[in-house]
Amino acid sequence: MSDWRDVLTAAGLADEDWSTRLDRELGPDIAANESDRSEAILDFLVGDLADRPSKASLVTLLGNAYRAVAALRQAGEVNTWLAGERRWQGIRERAAIVAVVAVLDSNAINRANLAESYCADHPAHAAALAQLLDHLQE
């Protein structure tokens, strides 16, 4: 199973040797944590689906979301974009949430408010979101 570094590489957001450099520079403990983080992302995205989409579809959705957040961050338009993505319930909405939480620091977005809002709409996903947030805050 690929992890989030593979997703970023496939989306053109990181060099192919990035995961090797990360392991070398940060050590195997970090690499192990990244595997757990990848599992948390995958569980949040598709953990409740009987028919999971292809890896290519997941890479495309995450890549699009990461690129959008990166592009809109400077203009301060991430919240408006996220509100629009929240109308597309399902994997697209979840990919947007992963990108926002992963890319923006806690000064740029209130993760607690985002989690509360999302869980109010999707209470069945509360545990997966909590696990995701735990791993993305490490």
- Could you state, in order of their start, the residue ranges of all structural domains in the chain? 4-136
C-alpha 75/C-alpha 63 separation (Å) is 19
pTM of the model: 0.71
Using only the alpha carbons of the chain, give its radius of gyration. Answer: 15
125's tokens: 């996903």
Q: Check: CB of residue 118 under 8 Å from CB of residue 20.
A: no
The DSSP-derived string for 9-31 is HHTTSS-TTHHHHHHHHH-HHHH
Nearest 5 degrees, angle CA 95-CA 131-CA 52?
45
The one-character DSSP state at 107 is T
Q: Which of 87, 81, 124 is nearest to 99 (CA)?
A: 81
Residue-level pLDDT at 8: 64
Q: Is the pLDDT of residue 1 over 50?
A: no
Mean pLDDT taken over the chain: 79
With cut-offs at 50, 70 and 90, classify the pLDDT of residue 73. confident
